[in-house]
Structure 1
Amino acid sequence: MSEQADSAVLERVAVGLAGMSRDLLAQDSVQSTLDSIVTHAVQLVDGCEHAGVLLLDRHNRVDSAAVTGDLVRDSDAAQGEAAEGPCFDAAFRKAQSYRIADLEAEADRWPNFAPRARELGIASMMGFLLYTEEGDLGALDLYSPEPGAFTRHSELVGWLLASHAAVAFAGARTSAQLQAAIATRQEIGEAIGIIMQQHGLSADDAEALLKKISQQRNVKLREIAQTIISDCES
């Protein structure tokens, strides 16, 4: 590849990643962020025709968090059913990335998953670790129906994309957790106000009563608060 052509490729990748970063920051939920990640993966990574974000918890339960189509969802399910495959290897080895040129050559490594993947029309795969948290694994997985579809250049672009995606994913999760915490505090505060009014209690005594009810019923404080608010509004 000439220096001019190489420069054009780098410029295209840089522009594409910059656009993806802006798009990810504009998303308003964790799910929309994940959906945007897999869409951009297909658009930016050479050889990629399908993409998905797979979550694998400490009990090896598989969750297709975002997919570009049924092929990805079926592949995730096949790995979960077989309890083997590239995502399981990544989970146990904590591998940052993998690139599989031809799944037909992986029958000894994954005797149950590899044949199923070929039945689904998957010839080559590539994946990148997104995050690990409390034993859970998140991975961005890329698929092609052609063997050898992913080159070293594809892997480099995929790694850059996954790095941007991981930051956006973590940010979206933090934002969602913060919003949930704020909503919880607001609901608990409203429930305490209702208890104060109904029973003539101080704020501290009303909060203590709310916590006591939560403990006695073994129900989360927010759920008790929501019930009190709902009963008051009905």
Structure 2
Amino acid sequence: MQHTPSVLTDQLAVEIARLGIVGESSDIGTLHRTTELAAQAVPGCAGATCIRWSVPAADGDEPPEPLASAASHPDLAQLVDRQLARRHGPVFDVVRLRRAVSSDDILAEPRWPEAMNDMLGRGVRCFSTTPHVRAPVLVTLTLYGVAAGALARSQHAIASLLVAQGSAAMSNTLQYDSVHRTAVQLQEAVEARAVVDQAKGILMHELGCDADDAFAEMRRISQTRHVKLTALAQRIVGDQGLHETPEKPDQTID
């Protein structure tokens, strides 16, 4: 990994803002874009990894589980995979405590010896991991530097902004999808009610009965012929020649 000095240009600011827009990308795409922008926007950052975690219920005992991850470099992807496989390391402490952790020089870092050895083997000398929770999404962003002290603490605010925007995008997408499903279900319910009302009107005219009797007749036919009420109404409205046949009470509608 090699670091190219960078600054937070106007274009980078626009790209960071776009992270929070619903529908801009999939969850994996958002995670990848977050790592790419971190490497561009944070001075001293040679690469980054991002993980989306589950958020257990408030009264649940289960710890968060990793749902998806992305890395700006294949070596860093291996670091994530090894840490997740062990279920131990700095990122797990960040998720458990919900606060950032960092090391300015992992040669002098006594915590997480296995994870530190993995980082040293891939040319990493310092790191910083930042969490952000926007229910139901928890995201961690880890920045890596190739020189001791390369990640200045004054630059951690940019990492916080990036991970906040990324988690906001995924949270907003989940909420949008939920609202969209509800809207579709309501629309389907309205359309079903309309066709049932039309079918009742047809039966009222043909049978010379009131609305309650027409609906009761539809329910009786629906039950005896094992067909959904809405499907029955659609057949009646479509004038498919539906008629009762007492001599064949078990007849079903194809």
Quickly name the TM-score band, shorter chain normalised: 0.5 to 0.7
Alignment equivalent of 1:119, drawn from 96, 116, 121: 121
Secondary structure of 1:149's partner? coil
Displacement of 1:114: 1.6
Q: Cα offset for 1:98?
A: 2.4
Using the TM superposition, give the Cα deviation of residue 88 of structure 1 relative to its aligned residue in structure 2, in angstroms: 0.9
Distance 2:139 2:122 in 1: 22
Which position in structure 2 is the counterpart of 1:99? Answer: 102
Q: Say if 1:22 and 1:105 are closer, same or farther in 2 by CA, change over 3 A.
A: same
Unaligned runs of 5+ in 2: 1-5, 55-61, 196-226, 236-253
Structure 1 position 75, deviation (Å): 1.4
Task: Quote the sequence identity (%).
Answer: 21
Cα distance per residue 1:95-142 (max 9 Å; x no partner): 1x2221122222x311322212222332211121121646x7421111
Structure 1 match to 2:86: 82
Distance 1:168-1:113 versus aligned 2 partners, 3 A rule: same
Deviation at 1:184, TM superposition (A): 6.2
Deviation at 1:46, TM superposition (A): 0.7
Residues 1:18 and 2:19 are matched in the alignment:
no
Answer with 167-176 or 45-54: which moved more.
167-176
1:187/1:15 Cα in 2 relative to 1: closer, same or farther (>3 Å)? same
8 A Cα contact 2:17 2:165, kept in partner? no
Partner Cα distance (2:184, 2:69) in 1: 24
Q: Which amino acid aligns with 1:151?
A: A
Q: 1:21 to 1:175 in 2, by over 3 A?
A: farther
* Alignment-derived partner of residue 28 in structure 1: 24
Asked whether the equivalents of residues 139 and 163 of structure 2 are also in contact (C-alpha less than 8 Å), the reply is: no
Residue 141 (str. 1) matches residue 142 (str. 2):
yes
> Does the CA contact (< 8 Å) of 1:54 and 1:140 recur in 2?
yes
- Rounded to whole Å, the distance in 2 between the matches of 1:191 and 1:120 is 61
Residue aligning to 1:43:
40
**Gap runs ≥5 in structure 1:** 1-8, 203-231
Q: Alpha carbons of 1:186 and 1:121: their partners in 2 closer, same or farther (altered >3 Å)?
A: farther
Aligned AA (1:100): S
Q: Check the 8 A contact 1:17/1:161 in 2, yes or no.
A: no
Q: Could you tell me how far apart the structure 1 residues matched to 2:190 and 2:111 are?
A: 56
Residue equivalent to 1:52? 49
CA contact (8 A) 2:8 2:41 kept: yes
Find the aligned partners of 2:231 and 2:174 in 1 and give their Cα distance: 37
Alignment match, 1:71: 75
Shift of 1:174: 2.2
Instruction: Give the 3-state SS of the residue equivalent to 2:48 in structure 1.
Output: strand
Is 1:99–1:150's contact at 8 Å kept on the other side of the alignment? Answer: no
Q: CA 1:174 to 1:148, structure 2 compared with 1: closer, same or farther past 3 Å?
A: same
Q: What is the alpha-carbon distance in structure 2 between the residues aligned to residue 72 and residue 189 of structure 1?
A: 51
CA RMSD of aligned residues (A): 3.4
What secondary structure does 2:108 align onto?
helix
Q: Hey, what's the Cα distance between the residues in 1 that align with 2:191 and 2:82?
A: 47
Whose helix proportion is higher, 1 or 2? Answer: 1
CA displacement, residues 36-94 of structure 1 (integer Å, 9 cap, x when unaligned):
22221111001112112113444454344332222232111121222222111112211
SS in 2 for 1:129: strand
Q: Measure how far apart 1:188 and its partner are.
A: 8.3
